[in-house]
Structure 1
Amino acid sequence: MSEAFDAIVLGGGAAGLFCAATAGQRGARVLVIDHAPEVGRKIIISGGGRCNFTNIHTAPDRYISGNRHFAKSALARFSPRDFIDLVDAYGIAWHEKTLGQLFCDGSARQIVALLLEECAKGAVEMACGVPVSGVDHADGRFRVSFGGREASAPALVIATGGPSIPKMGASSFAYDLARQFGLKVVQPRPALVPLTLPGTEALFRELSGVSTEIIARVDGPWGKAAFREAALFTHRGLSGPAILQVSSYWQRGSSVTAQFLPDRAPGWLRAAKRDRPRTSLQRVLAEGLPERLAEALCDRLALAGELGALTDKALDAAEQRLAHWAFVPDGSEGFAKAEVTAGGIAVDGLSSRTMEATKMPGLYAIGEAVDVTGWLGGYNFQWAWASARAAGEALIPRLVDPNS
Structure 2
Amino acid sequence: MRYDAIVLGAGGAGLLAAATAGQAGARVLVLDHADKAGKKILISGGGRCNFTNTGTEPECFLSDNPHFAKSALSRYTQWDFLALVERHGIDWHEKTLGQLFCDGSARQIVAMLLDECARGGVDVRLSTQLGAVIHADGQFRVAGASAPQLVIATGGPSIPKMGATGVAYDIARQFGLGLVAPRPALVPFTLGGDDMPFREISGVSCPATARVRGRSFQEAALFTHKGLSGPAILQVSSYWSPGDTVSLNVLPDAAGKLRAARKRMPRAHMKAALTEHLPVRLADVLSTRIGVTTELGNVSDADLDRAADILTDLTFRPSGTEGYAKAEVTAGGIDTAALSSKTMEARTVPGLYAIGEAVDVTGWLGGYNFQWAWSSGAAAGQAIAMRR
TM-score range (shorter-chain normalised) is over 0.9
**Kept after mapping to 1: 8 A contact 2:254/2:311:** no
Match of 1:195 in 2: 189
Q: Which of 196, 218, 223 is equivalent to 1:233?
A: 223
Q: Residue 126 of structure 1 corresponds to which residue in structure 2?
A: 124
Q: Determine the C-alpha separation between the residues in 1 that align with 2:153 and 2:293.
A: 57
Give the superposition deviation at 1:200.
Answer: 2.8
Query: What letter is aligned with 1:36?
Result: A
* Counterpart in the other structure of 1:402: none
Match of residue 43, structure 2, among 25, 35, 45: 45
Counterpart among 91, 94, 118 of residue 93 in structure 1: 91
Secondary structure, aligned partner of 1:335: coil
Gaps of 5+ in 1: 400-404
Q: Hey, what does 2:64 align to over in structure 1?
A: 66
1:170 aligned residue: 164
Partner of 2:206: 212
Unaligned runs of 5+ in 2: none
2:298 equivalent among 309, 312, 328: 309
TM-score, structure 1 as length reference: 0.95
Shift of 1:265: 6.3
Matches of 2:261 and 2:193, distance apart in 1: 34
**Cα shift at 1:279:** 2.7
Which deviates further from its counterpart, 297-306 or 67-76? 297-306
Q: Which structure 1 residue ranges, 4+ long, deviate > 4 Å from structure 2?
A: none
- Distance in 2, matches of 1:369 and 1:128, equals 19
Aligned CA distance change for structure 1 residues 78 and 39 (closer, same or farther; 3 Å): same
Deviation at 1:278, TM superposition (A): 2.3
Between the aligned partners of 1:212 and 1:204, the Cα distance in structure 2 is 13
| Contact 1:185–1:344, Cα closer than 8 Å, also in 2 | yes
1:256 aligns with 2:220: no
Q: Cα deviations across residues 359-400 of structure 1 (Å, max 9, x unaligned)?
A: 11100000000000000000000000000000000112212x
Partner of 2:353: 364
Distance 1:199 1:325 in 2: 15
SS state of the match for residue 142, structure 1?
Answer: strand
Q: Identity of counterpart residues, as a percentage?
A: 63
Aligned-CA RMSD value: 1.0
Deviation at 1:269, TM superposition (A): 2.2
Q: Could you tell me how far 1:239 is from its partner in structure 2?
A: 0.4
Is the contact between residue 31 and residue 128 of structure 2 (CA under 8 Å) also seen in structure 1?
A: yes
Instruction: Name the counterpart of 2:14.
Output: 16
CA distance in 2, matches of 1:88, 1:277: 59
Superposition map of 1:316-395 within 5 A: 316-395=305-384
Higher mean alpha-carbon deviation, 14-23 vs 274-283, is at 274-283
**Aligned 1:238-317 pairs, distance under 5 A:** 238-262=228-252, 264=253, 266-317=255-306
- The one-letter amino acid of 1:339's match is E
Following superposition, the deviation at residue 259 of structure 1 comes to: 0.5
- CA distance in 2: counterparts of 1:43 and 1:268, whole angstroms: 43
1:396 counterpart = 2:385: yes
AA partner of residue 95 (structure 1): H
Change (3 A) 1:127 1:185: same
Pairwise CA distance, 1:301? 0.8
Q: What's the TM-score once normalised by structure 2's chain length?
A: 0.98
The one-letter amino acid paired with 1:285 is L
Amino acid at match of 1:114: M
What do the CA deviations read for 1:50-101 (whole angstroms, capped 9, x no partner)?
A: 0000000000001000100000010011111111111011110110111100
One-letter amino acid matched to 2:97: L
CA contact (8 A) 1:270 1:316 kept: no
Q: Distance in 1 between matches of 2:260 and 2:163?
A: 56
Structure 2 CA distance for aligned equivalents of residues 123 and 396 of structure 1: 13
Q: Distance in 1 between matches of 2:244 and 2:118?
A: 48
Residue type at the aligned position of 2:155 = G
Correspondence list, 1:138-177, <5 A: 138-144=136-142, 146=143, 150-177=144-171
Higher mean C-alpha displacement, 267-276 vs 171-180: 267-276
